[in-house]
Every structure is written in structure tokens, then in C-alpha cells.
Structure 1
Amino acid sequence: MILITDDSTLILAAVLVAIACRQVGRVRLPIWSIMLGGAGTALLTGSIGLIAALHAINCDIMLFLFGVFIIGAAMEESGYLTHLATRIFASQRSVKKLIFLFIFTMGAFSALLMNDTLAIIGTPIALVLARSCNISDRIFLLALAGAITTGSVASPIGNPQNLLIALSSGMANPFLTFPLYLAVPTLISCLILYYMVVRTIPQMPNSPSPIMQEAHIQDPKMAALCKISLALLILLIALRILLVSLGHTPWPGLSGIALIASLPIIIFSRQRLVILKKVDYATLVFFIALFILMAAVFESGAIQSAVTDNQILSIPLLIAGSLIISQIVSNVPFVALLIPMLIEAGAGDAMFLALAAGSTIAGNMTILGAASNIIIIQNAEHRGATITFMEFLRFGIPVTILQAVVFLTWFLIIT
């Protein structure tokens, strides 16, 4: 347990409470602004110096996120990802097959482009599919939320907390280690999600009309650049895996992969300024503030004094704690707090991957468990649809429990 013994831990406690509440009067506070306020307070109170704060910012993570956000923004602006998705779904005439394909397609995309990106792009697709099938919008919105959360588990770049773990844990080859440990339980968890989604449909349509029309690419030139960027992203990841497998120094770094892959869009697109404006700068600010505040807490010694190997190095406790605490403070701050504790305790890859799994599938339990859930609901409400907190909870609790059992069983078998 971390005791509140100085300014930094007091600030952290206030930030976590504010994130859990997220509202002051009628004002809904975005998480990035709460974290920025905490980091600013830490600097003002002298809990961390300016130079130490600058050193605390993980430039690899910031540059990686920036590169991926550029690619995601370009794919959204050009209509390329929507075109790809509708091309996959347009020929489907079975609702069950469509839901299966939707879950696994969105899960696969999220493993490559991050779940928050898919939350933005996937919401209108989910609503079109639901209305084409003449079933509740809620069904496909729940399927989307579950798919992009679950599918992102087995990838070091599938979600922000996995990226934190991949770059901060000292993992030698995260692109191999993550799927090696997590691919099988992730696939099983996607099947569980499919089963739970299908059973929520009161009456399955027998002979649905053609599901949806193939969406046209809005900007063919930008879409062509997106194809090049995606190909570069995949090739550079494969190159890094190959070099590590052959015992060579891994190249390029994660930040290099994302930045190199985004270069065709930045250099050759005439819409580069439009794309740069669409980058999710709020998330970038959130991470900068997160690094500063967590460094202040770490400098105080509160984390080191809280570490007991028996508590922190227990996979069942780690997964269970991740599921519960992520509902209160969200998964990224929780993971940022746990990483230095695991490092101090001498944790191996399995412990960090258990943290990745537990903190990620926590997003399937409640709306507040993952930022991608909030993004989906906000986008859906702009289009006249929504999921209530209780609807999400009734669906999410059994899904999360079943998935947690799968991951826990898997870890107990392989470790």
C-alpha cells in the first residue's frame, strides 16, 4: 500500500479521486486536464524539478503515439479504413457471420492501429451494420467496444497501457513476447465475446437483406499514402522481429517504426495540415503529465516502500487488482503506477504481461474501464444512439469474468 507521506503522493491521491469522479458541479473534466493539473501542481510545489520533469517524459512513447495518430487521422480523413471495413462486410448475408467477422476484424485492426483509433472509426460502421440488420444499435456498439479492447491485448501497440509496458519494462522483443504469451487467450476471449454478443440478440433475423454498401474512398491520393504507411509499419515491425531473432540489435525502435511509417503522409500529402490538426493532442498531453507526476511520486520513495514481493509478484492478485482498480482510476494511470513497483520487485516478462492483460480486459467491465468506451459512446450519441452505464455493466461483468478466467488459467499453465 502507498502511504500519503508527502506532497507528491497527496497530489496523486487527489488526481486519482478526480479521475474517478470526473465531474465538478456541471462541468465534466477530461482526464487529460486532471492529469495536467496534477503534474503542474507537482512542479509548483517542488515535488519534482523542471529538469527532472523533462527527463521523466518518455520520448519514445510520445513519438510513437504521434506517428500512429498521424496514420490513424489520415486513414479516417481519406475514408480508407471505412472502405476496407465495408468491403469486408458488404457481402455478408448472415447476421451471425457478420458479427463474428466484425469482432475479429475490429480486434485485428486495433492490434495494429490502437483501440482508441478504432473507437473513432468503428462507431459509424457499427451503427450502419446494426441498422442494416434491423437489430438494436446497442448490440454492435457493445461488440465494437469489446472487440477493440480484447483484440488489443496481444499487441504491444494495441493500446496505450501495453505501449507503456513494452517500452518501460525492459522487454527485449515485445512484438514477439506479447503475442507469444497472449495470442491464444486473446483469441479465446474474442470467441467468448462473440458468444455473449449473439446471445443478447432476442430474435436473430433469418434472411437479412444485403448488409451494407461498400463505402467509397473520399481521397484516393491520401488513401494510397495510407497503404504505403501501413505497409511500412508492418514491414518495419517484421524487420525488428527478424533482427532480434537473429541476435542483432533491434532496429528501428518503436518510435522509429511509427515515425518512418508516417513519413509518406507527412511529406507527400497536400492535406498534411488537416491531418496534423486531427492528431489526438489531448492524449499526448495526458501522457506528458502522467510521466511527470509518476516520476514525482517515484522520487518520493513511496512506491519503493510499498513494494512487497509476495503481494506484487502474484499473477492472480495482479489480474484481479487490475480489473478492479482500473474501474476507478482508468487503466493507463494504474499501469503507470504499477510499472516501477514491478521493476523494483524484479518482475519478469510474465508479470508485466499479466498486468497488460488484466488492465486491458478491465475495459470490458464498465464504461469507465477504458477511454475507448467513452469515445464510442460520445461518437454514438452524436449519431442518435447510446449505451447506458447499466446496459454496459450487465453485458460487461460476465464477459470480463469469463475472459479473466481464461487469461488467469493460461498464465498458470505457462508459468
Structure 2
Amino acid sequence: MNIPVIVLCAVFVLIAVRRVGNLHFGLWQIMLFGGAAVLVTGQIGPREALGAIDPDIMLFLFGVFVVGQALEESGYLFHLSYLAFRRAGSADGLILMILFGFGIASAFLMNDTLAVIGTPLVLLLAKQHRMSPKVLLLALAFAVTIGSVVSPIGNPQNLLVAIHGQMPNPFVEFFRHLALPTVISLLAAFFLLKFFHHESFHGDALVHVRHDLRDKPLARLARLSLILIILLVVVKLALVFTMPQIDFRLTWIALIAATPILFFSPKRWRIVRHIDWRTLVFFAAMFVLMESVWMSGFFQSLMARGNLNPTSIGMIFAVSVLLSQLISNVPLVALYLPMLMHAGTSTRELLALASGSTLAGNLFILGAASNVIIIQNAERKGGHTLSFVEFARVGIPLTLVNVLVYWLFLALL
């Protein structure tokens, strides 16, 4: 009896229903149950569990959460919202701007960063313009997932492929092969959202309201943090091109950006108290559960027993989209990439692995960390949520379209 896999299945079922009798569970509580279950049953030891928690990701999220909380609490985030979206004259225009604006930004600022910053912003837009928060949350989730495909620093799995796949010029390769299918996929997201949530695409003209800053000193620090993120991303890009041997981690970008707030704001402790600690608990527990599943060897043996061609682009997409739901996309890429490198793979196959494991985030909620960040933030800040079914109703057809589009461009064109 494979207890870790059984626990993982139970976690999926609980995430789908979110309720047992009169009890309603948050995502973080369900994942905490999963992590605790494999610890209590001895499927993973305390030392292995602690080692499974990725400090880079935890520190990256902490830094980004601090910046996001300061942007929101100072009111500077909503000031930026007015500047960015004031030209949207209709619901169609607003959703297109969210899809393409956040999509393009996530290619360079990383999708999890945009998920943190974008959630309170789209909730405000939904309230202002009498639109369903669900459709704007879905638009944000799909935007940061699809947009991050086109860049080697859009998400952690892309970075893994770019570095360990030994691409000589990863930014050029990603953009040359994936830019056009990414644009098509963002348009597909727009039309599917309009089909499934047509009631939110009302014909009324949108009236945008400028918001005053709540705390000007904190707003100045938050703006400095945002500028630091952008500048450090540029430094990261320059180092990748000129000195790739220097490991300038994304974690450092987030922590350096949070420094002005943590060092100079008198509200630093209030901001730290109010960041999304539940999402950090979710990720810590997820790392423990996924490590126990990995240690069980279940999926490795499943892949080894299947008489499949693991280097075909179609199979890479199928495996990466489906298994990313079960063992997360970064561990999936860590498992799959050595197989491709050993087989003497091409750039197109590496890009199929990067895009497939990323697009997996559009299928179900657990397919991407950014989905979890968005939903937990929405529940905490506005009492809004997306159920498993609400997400999958649009996510399943969108993922099928996404995979078909990218497969056509990588396999046939």
C-alpha cells in the first residue's frame, strides 16, 4: 500500500470538494493535513521533511509578499492600477489588458510575483466595474501562467530547463519559438473566458476612479522596492547574457527589494504580520508531501514501465501536463530533463518540456504555485474564491487549446 500516493489522492479530493459536513477547509489546511499525514505515518522522516522544504522558494515568496503587502497597504498599488487600466473603456478591453499586461510582465518579473501583486488589484477592478471577481481572478491566473512560458526566467521550471538544458542563448530560443503561440494562447484564454462567463462582459462604459495614497512614506518605499525588482531583473538578464557562470538568484531579487520596507518603514512589523503566511505554510507542507511521493518511487516506476517514447514532443507535453498535477512542475522537470539530455535532445524538445510543465498550471488549481497564491490571497483579502470545478471548467479546454497550439509550433512548424 503506497501511503504517500493515497494521501496525495485524498488531498486532491479535499481540494475538489473543500468541505466535509459543515466544515470548510482552506487550501493551506488541506495541504498541511497531507504533509502531517506522511510525517505521522513515517513515510518521511523529520530530517528529510525539513530538507525537502526549498529555502529559495520560501524566501522568494516571503520577499515578494512583503513588497506586495506594502504596495497594497500604502495605496500605491491602486494608484498604479488607475494608471495602467484607465484606457480600458469596456469589460472586453479590461480583460484583454489583464491577460496581455500581466502576461507580458510575468515573462520578466516571474509569475508568482505578479500573482501576489495582481490579486488585490483585480479584486478592486471587479468591485469598481461591477464584474465577477471570479472571471478576473481566472484571467489573472491564466495570464501569469501563459505569459511566463515565453521567457527562461518566467518561472522556476523554465530556468531549470534553460540552465541544465545547456541552451547557448536561452532568451532568444524561448522568444523565437514560443512568442507567437503565447500570443495565440492568451487570445484563446480571452475567448474561452467570454464563452463561459459571458455575463461579466457587459456593454457598459467603464468609469475609472483615481485612488489617493493612504500612506505616502510607505508608498515611497514600496515604489522603491518595485523599482529595485525591475532593475535587478535587468541585472539578471545582463548576467545571463554576459556572465552566465554567476548565479544571481531570483531569491536575492525578492529579498533585496523587500529591504527598504523591512529596514526603513516604521510599519515593518505590521506588514510582516499581515503577509500571506497561510500560503507559506501551504508550500512548506506541499514540499514535504511531494518529497514523500517522490521517495515512494511510484511515478518513476510508472514512467519506466510504460513502453513510450519519452523524447517525442507529443509525449513530453502529455507527461509534463499530467504529472505536473501530481508531483508539481519543478520536480517533474527535474525528473524528466536528465532523460532528455541523455537521449541527446534538441532545443524544441527542451522547450516542449518547459512549456508543457508551465501550461499544466491552466488545467487544475494545483498545477501552478501562482494559482494557489491567487486563490489564497483572494480568500484572505476579499472573501472570494475559485472552486476546483470553477477553475477546471475553463482550465481544461484552455489547456487542450494551449497544448495543441504549442505542439503545432514546436513539432510541425
The corresponding residue for 2:339 is: 345
The corresponding residue for 1:100 is: 96
CA distance in 1, matches of 2:199, 2:31: 42
Q: Kindly state the Cα deviation for residue 266 of structure 1 after the two structures are TM-superposed.
A: 0.9
The corresponding residue for 2:318 is: 320
**Could you report, residue by residue, the CA deviation over 1:3-56 in whole angstroms, capped at 9, with x for unpaired residues?**
x5xxxx412322332232334333233333333333334334443333333333
CA distance in 1, matches of 2:365, 2:51: 34
Task: Please tell me whether the aligned partners of residues 27 and 376 of structure 2 are also in contact (alpha carbons under 8 angstroms).
Answer: no
Task: Please tell me whether the aligned partners of residues 307 and 345 of structure 1 are also in contact (alpha carbons under 8 angstroms).
Answer: no
The corresponding residue for 2:50 is: 54
* Map 1:225-236 → 2, pairs under 5 A: 225-236=221-232
The corresponding residue for 2:14 is: 21
Task: Please tell me whether the aligned partners of residues 165 and 356 of structure 1 are also in contact (alpha carbons under 8 angstroms).
Answer: yes
The corresponding residue for 1:258 is: 254
CA distance in 2, matches of 1:231, 1:138: 30
The corresponding residue for 1:245 is: 241
Task: Please tell me whether the aligned partners of residues 56 and 251 of structure 2 are also in contact (alpha carbons under 8 angstroms).
Answer: yes
The corresponding residue for 1:130 is: 129
**Percent sequence identity over aligned pairs:** 36
- For the residue of structure 1 that corresponds to 2:224, the secondary structure is helix
Task: Please tell me whether the aligned partners of residues 224 and 260 of structure 2 are also in contact (alpha carbons under 8 angstroms).
Answer: yes
2:13 corresponds to which letter in structure 1? A
Task: Please tell me whether the aligned partners of residues 61 and 163 of structure 1 are also in contact (alpha carbons under 8 angstroms).
Answer: no
TM-score by length of 2: 0.78
The corresponding residue for 2:398 is: 399
Q: Kindly state the Cα deviation for residue 282 of structure 1 after the two structures are TM-superposed.
A: 2.1
* Map 1:34-53 → 2, pairs under 5 A: 34-53=30-49
CA distance in 2, matches of 1:317, 1:361: 14
The corresponding residue for 1:78 is: 74
2:3 to 2, 10, 17: 10
**Could you report, residue by residue, the CA deviation over 1:80-109 in whole angstroms, capped at 9, with x for unpaired residues?**
222112222224435543432232223344
**Could you report, residue by residue, the CA deviation over 1:333-371 in whole angstroms, capped at 9, with x for unpaired residues?**
432552443145345676665455345444445667643
- For the residue of structure 1 that corresponds to 2:328, the secondary structure is helix
CA distance in 1, matches of 2:133, 2:278: 28
In structure 2, the CA distance between the partners of 1:83 and 1:351, relative to structure 1 (3 Å rule), is farther
* Map 1:114-153 → 2, pairs under 5 A: 114=112, 115-118=114-117, 120-128=119-127, 130-131=129-130, 140=136, 142-153=138-149
TM-score by length of 1: 0.77
Q: Please say if 1:31 is aligned against 2:24.
A: no
* Map 1:151-230 → 2, pairs under 5 A: 151-154=147-150, 162-163=155-156, 166=159, 170=164, 176=171, 182-197=178-193, 201=198, 208-209=204-205, 211-230=207-226
Task: Please tell me whether the aligned partners of residues 83 and 214 of structure 1 are also in contact (alpha carbons under 8 angstroms).
Answer: yes
Task: Please tell me whether the aligned partners of residues 128 and 212 of structure 1 are also in contact (alpha carbons under 8 angstroms).
Answer: no
The corresponding residue for 1:371 is: 372
1:13 corresponds to which letter in structure 2? I
Q: Please say if 1:289 is aligned against 2:285.
A: yes
Task: Please tell me whether the aligned partners of residues 157 and 330 of structure 2 are also in contact (alpha carbons under 8 angstroms).
Answer: yes
Q: Kindly state the Cα deviation for residue 380 of structure 1 after the two structures are TM-superposed.
A: 9.4
Task: Please tell me whether the aligned partners of residues 130 and 139 of structure 1 are also in contact (alpha carbons under 8 angstroms).
Answer: no
CA distance in 2, matches of 1:78, 1:116: 18
